[in-house]
Amino acid sequence: MNENQPKFYDDDGTEINPDLIPKPALCVACKKDGISGKEEILCALTRADQQGEDEFRCDAYEAME
């Protein structure tokens, strides 16, 4: 994990490495995929929050053109 990369923690206080959070197909098809900054943080938190769920939902999704 990069020193400049923000750190994420779950509800128990355990650090989460965003590089190890699986990226759903919806994320790969989103035009925001790979954008650094605030969008990257929002995406990582959304994926971390939904790990293990049957269906992935993202209200920030924007299809690639």
Distance of CA 41 to the CA centre of its chain: 7
| Tens-place pLDDT, residues 19-63 | 899 999 999 999 999 888 888 889 999 999 999 999 999 999 999
Residue 65 — pLDDT band, cuts 50, 70, 90? confident
Q: How far is CA 19 from CA 63, 64, 65, in A?
A: 22, 22, 26
Measured distance between the N- and C-terminal CA atoms of the chain, rounded to whole angstroms: 31
Residue-level pLDDT at 37: 86
Whole-model pTM? 0.79
Which position has the higher pLDDT, 37 or 3?
37
Q: What is the pLDDT, as a whole number, of residue 3?
A: 66
Q: Output the pLDDT for position 57.
A: 96
